[in-house]
Structure 1
Amino acid sequence: MADVKNIATRDSYGAALKQLAAEGHDELVVLDADLAAATKTGVFKKAYPDRHFDCGIAEGNMMGVAAGLSTMGYIPFVSSFAMFAAGRAFEQIRNSIAYPRLNVKIGATHGGISVGEDGASHQCCEDFALMRSLPGMTVICPADDVEARAAVRAAFEHRGPVYLRFGRLAVPVFHDEANYHFEIGKGEQLTEGSDIAIIATGLMVNEARIAAENLAKEGIHARVINIHTIKPLDEELVLKAAAECGKVITCEEHSVIGGLGEAVCALLSEKQPTPVRRIGVQDKFGCSGPAWDLLREYGLCAANIEANVREMLGK
């Protein structure tokens, strides 16, 4: 693959918020929980200090503040690490935002194992499961900078609660911004192939692309699908891939319990019974270490995708 830029999607989040404000969207406000430098909302704060509110290390209260602001016509983006946003503030998200279906957007950074040296306490691999369980909650996990910035804009334009997960780790930018279109609830097929379908989200999408390229050299043609919206799932795209490929592998930087893999399995078991293998965190906590080393240790890499494809195909 050609050389590409590497950008963390948390940087994309801050840049997208600033761009939306620059376009004259005065109803946009940003809340943070003493982490503006890490979540990158500090970019917005520097440009629009009167519309950025630091709520301190009180994430539950911050969700309540955002709920109140939304009832006054503002569109708040509430920002913190995924562990603190989805985890610590779950009750307030459930009762104060999701239950009344308020127009609040949750920007959760530092999701997954790739948080790295911060260790298990900060490596949130449960957020998809928590947020998927809430009625009416849209759950998005972009794969690169272009997609992340487009996702923030789509969330802003969407009416209702949205959970967006961004990463700490700089990842390759493989989308062409000039030709990319983002739509909530619609995935994209990245490669042709009918031997097996690899359905991925977040940073695992690029790993799936690398795996497909390597497998093609062996005569194995994998269809790679990017599912940026985990809820609502693009059922049409998933069912089509399963029917035409006959075997499916899901890939996510999240527990295999409750995330993309389970969403795909639930759909296929009801409408298109298909052999599925889930690549993700296998019911265990993370540990401290360099991000890419941890991803390989937990099997969240192209090499493990390739090995699973070969095994499923009996190669």
Structure 2
Amino acid sequence: MSRTKRAPWRGVAPATLDPNKPRLTTSAMIASLAAEGQRTSPAPFGRALVELGRTRPEIVGMTADLAKYTDLHVFAREYPDRFYQMGMAEQLLMLAAAGMAHEGFVPFVTTYAAFASRRTFDFISQGIAEEGLSVKICCALPGLTTGYGPSHQATEDIAIFRGMPDLTIIDPCDALDIEQAVPAIAAHDGPVYMRLLRGNVPLVLDEYDYSFELGKAKLLRDGTDALVISSGFMTMRALETAKLLEADRVSLAVLHVPTIKPLDTDTILREARRNGRLVIVAENHTVVGGLGEAVATAMLTAGVTPKFRQVALPDAFLDAGALPTLHDRYGISAEAMARTIRTWL
């Protein structure tokens, strides 16, 4: 396939750019997901890990030359004797973390999601997951959170890891979610893969009386016309979309699913059965193999068959560029979501 011709959209409504709206520019590699003026919290992962380390001396931090770009440098400054820089050797990183876990430590391992899912899969499977070791793999740049293109866009990481037995998968929405997920996954006896937002991370869930619980989905707002089941920063987008659609008198419910595996099927099915609403899954991931397929399987298995749609990334290698432009192009900005949902109702 040429670089200028993309595969057709599969199951996801294509978004079109508004010609009257100027294209925004951002750093392609690391760009904040926060809108102008939005509240943010700096380095929530690093700060939460530092706080956890005060009472948990077995917590160690390990990375593959990416401490600064995963906010693990905050932990390294506070606990230099509990920080291990393994260099650009991700496979070695995973097996070294397995060795530390065998000795009673709880390693928090950071790298980019593309490297963990593609480059170290076999090492995680054989060295960590099969052994049931408490290694916490926390990876930046999940999905479309960098503009550097397919080499760093881990749009298929959840699909890759969902098939790995005994691996818990977490996709937090914002800074509050990350801060509360860190001690929760540390307390979990077993391996965890967590998608990670870094830098100045948006703060939105504190407005919804939210608290993270491992394995639990949370209804953030109710609505009568459609239910959005979402994970990661797409929950923030869903909440923004709900506000945009209020002007059209469209009532949108938002169910946040921070734990992808194990999936909270009880809550999802309860909400999907209500009122004959359109059910929409929104995720920062390819349409193949992620939350959308997990939710669809759960509903069909239980005989729950509402009208169903997905807001997700296409089954294609994505373009490089500024994140606001890319999010609009691939239909995961709030404005693009609102346009798409209007056509479905």
Give me the whole-angstrom Cα distance separating, in 2, the residues matched to 1:39 and 1:207: 23
| 1:27 counterpart (58, 62, 69) | 58
Give me the whole-angstrom Cα distance separating, in 2, the residues matched to 1:139 and 1:196: 26
Identity of aligned residues (%): 37
The 3 A distance-change label for structure 1 pair 301 and 170 is farther
Correspondence list, 1:96-111, <5 A: 96-111=127-142
Partner of 2:26: none
Give me the whole-angstrom Cα distance separating, in 2, the residues matched to 1:171 and 1:217: 28
| 2:91 counterpart (46, 51, 60) | 60
Matched, 1:6 2:40: yes
> For 2:185, what is the secondary structure of its paired residue?
helix
Q: Measure how far apart 1:310 and its partner are.
A: 2.1
Structure 1, residues 184-203: CA drift from partner, whole Å, max 9, x if none? 11011111112110111111
Matched, 1:133 2:163: yes
Matched, 1:43 2:77: no
Correspondence list, 1:66-85, <5 A: 66-85=97-116
Q: Note the residue ranges of structure 2 that are not aligned, 5 or more in a row.
A: 1-34
The 3 A distance-change label for structure 1 pair 123 and 174 is same
Matched, 1:218 2:248: yes
Give me the whole-angstrom Cα distance separating, in 2, the residues matched to 1:189 and 1:234: 12
Structure 2 counterpart of 1:45, one-letter code: A
Q: Note the residue ranges of structure 1 that are not aligned, 5 or more in a row.
A: none
Matched, 1:253 2:284: yes
| CA contact 2:44–2:201 (8 Å) conserved in 1 | no
| CA contact 1:83–1:111 (8 Å) conserved in 2 | yes
| CA contact 1:112–1:167 (8 Å) conserved in 2 | no
| 2:120 counterpart (89, 114, 134) | 89
Partner of 2:206: 176
| 1:158 counterpart (188, 207, 210) | 188
Structure 1, residues 137-157: CA drift from partner, whole Å, max 9, x if none? 110011000111111111001
Matched, 1:227 2:257: yes
Give me the whole-angstrom Cα distance separating, in 1, the residues matched to 2:142 and 2:160: 13
Give me the whole-angstrom Cα distance separating, in 2, the residues matched to 1:237 and 1:278: 19
Question: When the two structures are superposed, what TM-score results if normalisation uses the length of structure 2?
Answer: 0.85
> For 1:244, what is the secondary structure of its paired residue?
coil
The 3 A distance-change label for structure 1 pair 244 and 2 is farther
Structure 1, residues 89-121: CA drift from partner, whole Å, max 9, x if none? 1110111111111111101111121212x2220
Partner of 1:114: 145
Structure in which a larger fraction of residues adopt helix: 1
Partner of 2:19: none
Which protein has greater RCO, CA pairs closer than 8 Å, 6+ apart? 2
Give me the whole-angstrom Cα distance separating, in 1, the residues matched to 2:164 and 2:219: 27
Q: Measure how far apart 1:251 and its partner are.
A: 0.8
> For 2:295, what is the secondary structure of its paired residue?
helix
Query: Cα RMSD over matched residues?
Result: 1.9
| CA contact 2:210–2:220 (8 Å) conserved in 1 | no
> For 2:260, what is the secondary structure of its paired residue?
strand
Q: Measure how far apart 1:168 and its partner are.
A: 4.7
> For 2:227, what is the secondary structure of its paired residue?
strand
Partner of 1:284: 316
Question: When the two structures are superposed, what TM-score results if normalisation uses the length of structure 1?
Answer: 0.93
Partner of 1:308: 340
Matched, 1:269 2:300: yes
Give me the whole-angstrom Cα distance separating, in 2, the residues matched to 1:82 and 1:245: 38
> For 2:69, what is the secondary structure of its paired residue?
helix
> Greater shift after overlay, 26-35 or 192-201?
192-201
Give me the whole-angstrom Cα distance separating, in 2, the residues matched to 1:278 and 1:177: 26
| 2:230 counterpart (200, 208, 228) | 200
